[in-house]
Structure 1
Amino acid sequence: MEANEQNLAALAHYLENTLNPASRKEAEQFLAGAEANQGFPILLLRLLTVPSVAETTKFSSAVYFKNYVKKHWPNDGAPDDKIHQDDRTNIKRICVDLMIALPQKLQIQISEAIALIADCDFPDKWLDLVDILVSKLNMVDFNVNIGVLQTAHSIFKRWRSQFRSNALFADIKFVLERFAAPFLQLFQAVDSLIDSSKADEKNLRVLFEVLYLITEIFYDLNCQDLPEFFEDNHAEFMRLLHKYLVYQNPLLASSDDEAGHLEKVKTSICEIIQLYADRYADDFKTLPNFTETVCGLLAATSSEAKYDSLVSHGLFFLTTVVKATESRTLFQNVAVLQTICEKVILPNIELRDSDEELFEDDPIDYIRQDLEGSDSHTRRRAAVDLIRGLLEHFAQPVTKLFTQYIDVQIQKYNQNRQQNWKSYDSALYLTMAISAKTSSAQTGVTSVNEYMPMLPVFESQVLPELQSPTSVHPIIRVDAIKYLMDFRSQISKTHLQAVIPILLTNLSQPSYVVYTYSAVCIDRILGMRVAGNRSLFRPEDISPYVKDLLMALFGLLSRAGTSPEKIAENDYIMRAIMRITVIGSKEILPYAADILAQLSSILAVISQNPSNPKFNHYVFETVAALVKHASRGSAALVQQLEANLFGPFQAILQQDVAEFMPYVFQILSQLLDLHRGSVLPESYKSMLPPLLQHSLWESQGNVPALVSLLRSYLGIAPVLIAENGMLPHFLGVYNKLIVSKLNDQYGFELLSSLLENVPFTYFESQGFAKSTFFLLPKRLSTAKTAKFTKEFTKFLSLLFALNKPDLGADKVISVFESIQPGLFRSLFENIVIPEFTLDMLPADKRLIAVGMTTLLVNSKIFSTEPYLPLWPRTVQDLLKMLETAIFDNKPQEEEDSYIDAEDMGYQNTFTRLNVVPTQKRDPTAHLGDPKLYLAQALSSLSAQPGPVATVIQSGLSPDAVTLLQQYLGHGAQTIR
């Protein structure tokens, strides 16, 4: 595509049409089709220079170019690469010059595109990039410098999150050799120009924008290690940084709540000195000076919102300094500690007007900020972190100082609660900060400050506020609930059990934040664990409150509104419902139908627009818990649950609600498993053919759940499936999965279930035996992966362990041999045996040990040539594997529990329901300890005259024999 007027006009036309909803789809399709044409990306760039093109169209072109690069540039040389090599060369030749000539709005997009290209090509395929950027720096046009520095920062900032490696340090060294000296010269030049422009507001603002980028790049270049150039010029760099940390000029004052250029520069400097204090303290000779400066800066900074980021990063710096043992001397003076506590920490602990506004106007955001840590850069949270840092070395004096303040604030509150309620908030927040030494989201506070009485505070200050029917302000009640929630691990079960009815009462409070915190507190208390990872609360502990708790929580959801978005907004309440349902066990059964009716109603609404993945997950987890509990009840209850669920489930499947379908398949599998040992119900029978349709298997999120569901069908009606002509359809799914590197493990799962449940005579009579097995060695020869070889070994081990009359070890070997003579021996020697000594889960080791032992015991073929020479290696490698395995052969007592979706590796595509059993029955369980099983088998075989006994007696090493004797327990049986 040439960059002529006709093509430029056509491109502008289609880009304009993407902004119009009526023509967007057609325009996007045209542009997507044009992407593979040579010259297309150059055309996008040239359009940015055409004066007659509208600014909105130019912006669309810049964004399209950035996204085009993001999507296609990494495919360099790949079969699906859409960017011609000449275009790649030309883009790199013109993009920097073009970028610096554009207005800032377009400059940012092209700068990001250059950074994306650099991620792939720099420095190896773009050696002159830094030289080009340095050559564009000048002391005349600082708008050009902004573009250059923005581009440099976009490229260098990736180093901040990368792991240390030789390749990374080589890249940084490459840049420093070309960039470091000009960088310092620019820093010094900007400093001189700021001095000479102190009365010129326009120039100052441009210069401080450049200065901000300089400080950001300073961090980029120092983030991994202290470069020699920066070490040599440490004094000069620190002089400049300190100068602008204390710099003041009223011309740079911002008039709104947004941080201005000066605040951004100071914040960036605080990040730099925190980095140096944390990583390069020995070389940070001016650390005491900076520490004193930051203390003074924080004490003098007002509470305006525009200073929030500066204050929080200043507090982070002080926290880093105070935690370092070598810096303790800076804070040992009681007067210094008192200044920090009173002038720096206390003003930033206080509740601000903006906090109140958020509490009232956007309660769900207020809750998420507090509970999910998105307030980590707020003044309050940063001040708490500094308190925790001080407690590490100065617990006693700091506690004494703050306790005095807390007492004063509590007195103020008691004198006039209506007017001084914020005093209680500050006092309790500070109490929580100085009482907790360590904490985690899962358990709350794990260790407490020995100088702070925790339980008396709970009983005298917290419990009365929780029990009071009214509060002067809902924030006070939230503070009390938060104290209980955070310190739950430090409170006895008796106390916790006593507060559940109090929290139940608080669910009826009108404040959104209050009742949500109550729900969260209930959830976290009931989720507490004790030794052995068992639940602290048993079903009988919450039995008196189950019904009322669930009614109250469902009532809160119904108050949210009627739209899918509003109902699904508060996932904290849905999570509390889930927790009570999971723990409630048999106590839930009398209310199961009512709970399910509520859940069905919720599902019907949120399926119209699944807007909150966490809420959705908790809904389905609750349904799964109900099904699990129902399995312990009556058959009539199971039927009732199925009747209530099939309607919403069918609607979800018919409407193709992609987010919900994997959940539906998992619960259908769970329900179907309850029918094991009986006839397949007609409702499930009619559902089976659609599950085998190709379209369902195109969604990656469906695959694990669908395989689980098909395995459930095979567990109940294998003969029905085979006799009704459905075996080819099941094998078609298997064929699709087994050739996929992403899904091959699910292909093995499905095939294993087919061969375990369907009599092999059906495979043979319908001509599928050889073709089914053929795909496995084919995949091993064409696209072998470590995962596939492991799954193949587990698959063979399962078949051997099952030892079915119609599919024993010799039958399996014969099928492989029918594909190609000698194939099984080759696969066993080169693929299977090497897997024995690789790292794997204990359950996999158990399966392989039992399966291979069964092969040795039962196979006549494996007991003859050419397999006999494999015996010693097979046994000895099995022993190596068993020696690294720890097997727990005791049956586990079942307990209802729940692990957070986040802990399970939460994904939008597929999230396994924790309540649904993840493993089918263990076919090796009846064989007991795999070590003893192997030893007893070999002992028995060695006692029977023949070639196998000879191989065992003469082929095993003394160490192997010793291990086998140990497994036998030195009993009467022997190996030789």
Structure 2
Amino acid sequence: MAVNIDNLAQLLNATLDVKQHRKAENALKEEAKKPKYSLALLSIVSTDAQPPNTRLAAALAFKNFIRNSYVDEEGNYKLPLEEVTTIKQELVGLMISSPSTIQTQLGEAISLIADSDFWERWETLTQDLVSRLSPTDYKITNGVLEVAHSIYVRWRPLFQSNDLNREVLHVVGTFGEPFIQMLSVADQQIEANKDNSTALKGWLDTMSLLIKILYDLSCQDIPPVIETHLKSITLILHKYLSYTNPLFDGEEDEATPLETLKSDICDALQLLANKYDDDFGIYVQEFTNNVWNVLSSVGPQKRFDILASKALQFLTAVASVRRHAEIFNNEQVLATIVEKVILPNVALRESDIEMFEDEPIEFIRRDLEGSDTDSRRRAATDFLRKLLENFEMTVTQVVFKYINHYLTLGKTDWKAKDTAVYLFLAIAAKGAVTAAHGVKTVNSYVNVVDFFKEHIASDLVADASAEPISKVDAIKYLYNFRSQLNKAQWDGAIQPLIQNLASSNYVVYTYAAIAVERVLFMTDDQGQHILGRADIQPYAKDLLEHLFALVEKDSSPAKLQENEFLMRCIMRVLIVIKEGVLDCGIESILNHLIKITNVIKENPSNPRFYYYHFEAIGALVRFCSNSSQVDLLPHLWAPFSYILNEDVSEFVPYVFQIFAFLLELNPTSPIPGDFKVLIDGILAPGPWETRGNVPPLARFVSAIIPKAAAEIVAEKKLELILSIFQRLLSGKKTEQNAFDILEAVVGSFDAAVLDPYFGTIITLVFSKLQSSPTDSYKSRVARFFHLVSARTESGLGVDFFIKHAEAIQAKVFTPFYLTVILPTTGQFARPVDRKLGVISYTKILCESTAFSQLYVQKGWGFTCNHLLDLLKNPPKVAAGFGDEIVHEADVDDIGFGIGFTPLNTCKRGHRDDFADVVEVDKWVAEYMKAANVRHNGRILTIATERLTPEAKQFLAPYLQ
């Protein structure tokens, strides 16, 4: 059935409505299954009669469709070739002619297509772009250059490879000369239109895009066409760094195209200075003077912020090359730099104070998380630190004169003190300030603890009337230098820090939460918390109640989840106090978390907040699920089942992780009644179509199979489970999840149940072994084999495996065993896997008819030798769920909102199907002796005939 354009437009409009968006998005998923859905979206994008919001929603839906449905994991098209061809024919022209907001979305879609197709499956694209360049129409040209930049910018973070080099050469060969010509065209047009505001802005945008593409083309290696024209390119760069035009005077807040162009030039200069000193070194001195003049001429207005920071980043790049850095190596020069460049750019401006008061969460994110990479303060600090790296003593002496000056002024002027503290922070820290530990290495010419006592501590303990920014500076000081304080110093500092959570100022209490959380996160060299449960337990109850009150202050979904720092602190307190939460009013804490879930499930908008929120719930599950004080499932069932029923897609992966963990923590208890209603839903194809659902769903299915084994057989659901296994095994990214399910199946059902399906299972596993399997795949195959081989008490065992393998292809078992199982088992790293290998090998030697008859000549001896190798260092499997310390992932490493984010509080323990076997070598001895008696001495006889004297000697204690 074809897509109805009018209906599709209505659905796209509904996605923009908070009340309807969930249903509309689910309906769009159904539309996306219809033929030519992508072309219907492009049709809406291209129709001027459609409202702008509808066209934008269609462009966004098209981009997301391309991301998920254009190619599979192997790079094969998921769409008909005819549709792919039409998309490529239409997309570039459509983007060029679209408004800028739509251009952005279509540009990202082109970049996604280029990821899989450019250049060999879309080799006409570069020539197509070149043919569309216009020397007279900047609108068309800018559209073309936007497309080009959206593709070439992908090269910037990549490592060099032959394929990448070929792609860049292909582009430069076609695009290089036209690019050089367009630089000249844009230069002439800017001159010709210097009095025409609209055209001037358009051609300055053209020049900006050309400079961005100069960066793209040069990011891997400097192309010959740019090397040849480098002198003329530098003349253009010089010209526009110095270019002024009265048409742009008077702007205050927004950067004009002129500032944007100068910023892009500084970016390109930074690349050339960092990467191509041999070619570009002769121009560095001149550009340094030029950029210095730019910095000296820009005012404090916000429009110059990015330009100032980019200019400072170029100077930082110059200071990074030792021979160029020498131009700064003079006390007088350094004093001028501090006075003319550093101080104006680190001092608090009115715009900073306005943001502090009006947009506090944005102020915090920019300041703390490094999202202020283009801020003047950050760039000035980076430049100062680079100078410090080269000339530590001189820079420290020069800067300290200014610190002391501003500290004196700071006795009556808090802004001056803020500057002093900021300068101290900038020069005291050496190297990167890490998220885990703050400043790890300190400038040897300063004393951070003394400076704190003399100048900072009074602000930390000052009453509520103190200036909020001074409080923030004090808290941030502790936050940055947290690794420099010892345990005793932290015992004294933690309470004043916690007291700042009571501040009425949003930024102050948020910074306090950030600092408390990071201190609680810190561990010593043994991995133990610096401040552990005993240190925080006395404050924990009041601290948690206060944090929840701050989170819940505004109950609208958007505001409640705005401040992820508060939720992160709640999570950390729960992780550190572990079972101590039972003494903090567990019911109240649980009710707060459920209340928050019920609010944010209506409109999830802050991925970091809800990640920490579910980690906090995971901490309660981890530490309290076996307590008689609280039964977690009845509390969690209502909000979680709503999330699953309404398909709140952002939360579904978290819910299944927590549900799976609840099942795993109580392996011997029966399946909770509520969970039975989920089985049919999770065995349907729908939930598995969302990639982020696959790992937690596979884990949940694996956890529920052992508990619901009888129902699964009685209700004939095993085939559905095995069809999910088959589907997951076919994808590279999901094959590990497939084996999780397969191991649960093999560990839960006996031979009579598995017999009808086992041949198909082995066929699927073997067929994937034929096509250059990864080591991790072979490892899972070997583990699966050993699990089958070890479960002799269920009618399985190696003979069961051999029977089904040989039924598929005669004599296939021998090469499989020799080339996959034996070598892969020897490489097992995890004790639980090596233990399984030991049990499997032992049972093969003791119980297998095939190995005592068919493979007795060589196979028995090989197996025994591999068993003895494993027993040289008998594997010891730790009980429980791994580390006591929960290290949640660094948020900046997590692809929030993309796919699957694991909860570390719910980290799965190792799968140990033989938990009752504790001392492995002792078990082997007992098992072998009993089996030898049971088989009338057969094992000892074979060992005597088939083993070397050394092997016999090693085996003797296990048999005698």
Q: In 2, are the aligned partners of 1:564 and 1:608 still within 8 Å (CA)?
A: yes
Q: 1:499 is matched with which residue: 468, 493, 496?
A: 493
Q: Equivalents in 1 of 2:592, 2:69: separation in Å?
A: 47
Q: 2:312 is matched with which residue: 279, 301, 315?
A: 315
2:344 matches 1:347? yes
- Consecutive unaligned residues of structure 1, counting only runs of 5 or more, are 1-6, 955-960
Question: Root-mean-square deviation (CA), in Å?
Answer: 4.5
- TM-score, normalization by structure 1: 0.84
Q: In 1, are the aligned partners of 2:832 and 2:911 still within 8 Å (CA)?
A: no
Q: Percent identity?
A: 33
Q: How does 1:671-686 map to 2 (within 5 A)?
A: 671-672=662-663, 680=670, 683=673
2:773 matches 1:773? no
Residue 922 (structure 1) aligns with: 912
Q: 1:373 is matched with which residue: 370, 374, 379?
A: 370
Q: In 2, are the aligned partners of 1:73 and 1:83 still within 8 Å (CA)?
A: no
- Would the alpha carbon gap of residues 865 and 616 (structure 1) be closer, same or farther in structure 2, given more than 3 Å must change? same
- Would the alpha carbon gap of residues 452 and 751 (structure 1) be closer, same or farther in structure 2, given more than 3 Å must change? same
CA drift at 1:780: 2.7
- Consecutive unaligned residues of structure 2, counting only runs of 5 or more, are none
Q: In 2, are the aligned partners of 1:42 and 1:91 still within 8 Å (CA)?
A: no
Q: Equivalents in 2 of 1:599, 1:376: separation in Å?
A: 34
Q: 1:534 is matched with which residue: 528, 536, 556?
A: 528
Q: In 2, are the aligned partners of 1:793 and 1:832 still within 8 Å (CA)?
A: yes
CA drift at 1:329: 1.4
Residue 482 (structure 2) aligns with: 488
Q: Equivalents in 2 of 1:108, 1:334: separation in Å?
A: 48
Moved more, 472-481 or 135-144: 135-144
CA offsets 1:253-282 (integer angstroms, 9 cap, x no match) = 462411112111111110111001111112
2:577 matches 1:584? yes
Partner of 1:84, secondary structure, is helix
Q: How does 1:317-466 map to 2 (within 5 A)?
A: 317-414=314-411, 416=412, 420-438=413-431, 439-466=433-460
Letter matched to residue 82 of structure 1: P
Q: Equivalents in 1 of 2:958, 2:560: separation in Å?
A: 69
Residue 850 (structure 2) aligns with: 861
Residue 617 (structure 2) aligns with: 623
CA drift at 1:642: 4.5
CA offsets 1:918-941 (integer angstroms, 9 cap, x no match) = 125635677678799999999999
CA drift at 1:67: 7.6
Q: Equivalents in 1 of 2:657, 2:176: separation in Å?
A: 57
Q: In 1, are the aligned partners of 2:779 and 2:828 still within 8 Å (CA)?
A: no
CA offsets 1:493-544 (integer angstroms, 9 cap, x no match) = 1121222221222111101111111111111111111113222222112222
Residue 748 (structure 1) aligns with: 739
CA drift at 1:220: 1.6
Q: Equivalents in 1 of 2:515, 2:237: separation in Å?
A: 46
- Would the alpha carbon gap of residues 953 and 286 (structure 1) be closer, same or farther in structure 2, given more than 3 Å must change? same
CA drift at 1:456: 0.7
Q: Equivalents in 2 of 1:526, 1:441: separation in Å?
A: 13
Q: In 1, are the aligned partners of 2:41 and 2:59 still within 8 Å (CA)?
A: no
Q: In 2, are the aligned partners of 1:798 and 1:847 still within 8 Å (CA)?
A: yes
Q: In 1, are the aligned partners of 2:671 and 2:704 still within 8 Å (CA)?
A: no
Q: How does 1:875-914 map to 2 (within 5 A)?
A: 895-900=884-889, 902=891, 905=894, 908=897, 909-914=899-904
Partner of 1:608, secondary structure, is coil
Partner of 1:442, secondary structure, is coil
CA drift at 1:89: 7.7
CA drift at 1:311: 0.7
Q: Equivalents in 1 of 2:657, 2:812: separation in Å?
A: 38
Q: 1:733 is matched with which residue: 700, 704, 721?
A: 721
CA drift at 1:63: 7.8
Q: 1:88 is matched with which residue: 69, 78, 85?
A: 85
Letter matched to residue 748 of structure 1: F
CA drift at 1:659: 3.9
- Alignment: residue pair count: 934
2:206 matches 1:210? yes
Q: Equivalents in 2 of 1:203, 1:929: separation in Å?
A: 81
Q: How does 1:182-261 map to 2 (within 5 A)?
A: 182-195=178-191, 198-253=194-249, 255-261=251-257
Residue 958 (structure 1) aligns with: none
Residue 952 (structure 1) aligns with: 947
Q: In 2, are the aligned partners of 1:428 and 1:479 still within 8 Å (CA)?
A: yes
Q: How does 1:551-950 map to 2 (within 5 A)?
A: 551-559=545-553, 561-590=554-583, 591-630=585-624, 633=627, 635=628, 637-639=629-631, 641-672=632-663, 680=670, 683=673, 694=684, 698=688, 701-709=692-700, 712=703, 721-722=709-710, 726=714, 728-730=716-718, 732-741=720-729, 742=731, 743-757=734-748, 760=750, 764=752, 768-784=753-769, 786=774, 788-801=777-790, 804=793, 806-814=795-803, 822=811, 824-825=813-814, 827-829=816-818, 831-833=820-822, 835-836=824-825, 843-866=832-855, 868-871=857-860, 874=863, 895-900=884-889, 902=891, 905=894, 908=897, 909-916=899-906, 918-920=908-910, 922-923=912-913, 946-950=941-945
Letter matched to residue 605 of structure 2: S
CA drift at 1:627: 3.6
- Would the alpha carbon gap of residues 654 and 821 (structure 1) be closer, same or farther in structure 2, given more than 3 Å must change? same
- Would the alpha carbon gap of residues 886 and 554 (structure 1) be closer, same or farther in structure 2, given more than 3 Å must change? farther
Letter matched to residue 219 of structure 2: C
- Would the alpha carbon gap of residues 726 and 670 (structure 1) be closer, same or farther in structure 2, given more than 3 Å must change? farther
CA drift at 1:185: 3.4
Q: In 2, are the aligned partners of 1:691 and 1:706 still within 8 Å (CA)?
A: no
Letter matched to residue 785 of structure 2: L
Q: In 2, are the aligned partners of 1:15 and 1:57 still within 8 Å (CA)?
A: no
CA offsets 1:452-496 (integer angstroms, 9 cap, x no match) = 110011112222111111343211111111111111100111121
Q: In 2, are the aligned partners of 1:579 and 1:898 still within 8 Å (CA)?
A: no
Q: In 1, are the aligned partners of 2:319 and 2:387 still within 8 Å (CA)?
A: yes
CA drift at 1:434: 0.9
CA drift at 1:605: 2.8
CA drift at 1:211: 1.7
Q: In 2, are the aligned partners of 1:663 and 1:913 still within 8 Å (CA)?
A: yes
Q: In 2, are the aligned partners of 1:652 and 1:661 still within 8 Å (CA)?
A: yes
Moved more, 600-609 or 346-355: 600-609
Q: Equivalents in 1 of 2:655, 2:327: separation in Å?
A: 61
CA offsets 1:811-867 (integer angstroms, 9 cap, x no match) = 554565677765644643454345346686565455435533542344343122245
Q: 1:544 is matched with which residue: 521, 526, 538?
A: 538
CA drift at 1:17: 5.8
Q: In 2, are the aligned partners of 1:387 and 1:433 still within 8 Å (CA)?
A: yes
Q: In 2, are the aligned partners of 1:692 and 1:729 still within 8 Å (CA)?
A: no
Q: In 1, are the aligned partners of 2:437 and 2:522 still within 8 Å (CA)?
A: yes
Q: In 2, are the aligned partners of 1:774 and 1:819 still within 8 Å (CA)?
A: yes
